[in-house]
Chains A and B, each alone.
Chain A
Amino acid sequence: DTAVSQTPKYLVTQMGNDKSIKCEQNLGHDTMYWYKQDSKKFLKIMFSYNNKELIINETVPNRFSPKSPDKAHLNLHINSLELGDSAVYFCASSRSDEQFFGPGTRLTVL
């Protein structure tokens, strides 16, 4: 059973489009995260939700909008995609110290 799952695994789209990435965790964790990993492998936090409440919102363009319909899900919607949005996006969840990462979504903007 996958602990943290993301869909889709790959996403190729044109500049200017709007796309969504979905994340689900079956670990019963209260806290979920979105990270962006660029081509140089730098892993940077974007957002975090705790019990469906936004608790971390880093300096991210407002084209990115997270949504948490319930504790087990955290989705990421991106409007007006730009070339620089190309990256691998990881979802993660935690109860306390350890964070569990999903398999990642590789987004390519053409």
Chain B
Amino acid sequence: GQQVMQIPQYQHVQEGEDFTTYCNSSTTLSNIQWYKQRPGGHPVFLIQLVKSGEVKKQKRLTFQFGEAKKNSSLHITATQTTDVGTYFCGQRGGGGSNYKLTFGKGTLLTVNP
């Protein structure tokens, strides 16, 4: 099935620094979803992008979908300790099923207060 590669695997920042995680695919993605999982918690949906070049913002979070729809990024401005967690990207659909969500391996963000 189609795989999405996510980098970096880990990122440690000082509170107030910015953070970016990247999601890449060798083939065109029909959409990209982002989820956040707090330590000990469950994945929570953040956003879905479907259009080429799309940019969406949620407060300090900025999500981008590449022009070729082969990559996406999540950027957090001025991180806070509440941003700690693992951020997953994933594509919904593929493998013959519109319901299947294939996740990247995630980026674990830790924030030093």
Do these two chains really belong together in a complex? yes
- A contact residues vs B (CB 8 Å cutoff): 31, 33, 40-45, 48, 50, 55-56, 90, 92, 94, 97-104
Find residues 31-69 in chain B having any chain A CB closer than 8 Å to their own CB: 31, 33, 37, 41-45, 48
Tell me the complex Cα distance, A29–B102, Å: 20
Count B-side interface residues using an 8 Å CB cutoff: 21
10 more contacts with CB within 8 A, not counting A31-B99, A98-B45, A101-B44, are: A33-B99, A33-B101, A41-B86, A41-B105, A42-B103, A50-B99, A56-B99, A56-B100, A90-B43, A101-B43
Number of A-B contacts defined by CB within 8 Å:
51
- State the main secondary structure of chain A at its contact with B: strand
- State the main secondary structure of chain B at its contact with A: strand
- B contact residues vs A (CB 8 Å cutoff): 31, 33, 37, 41-45, 48, 86, 88, 92, 97, 99-103, 105-106, 108
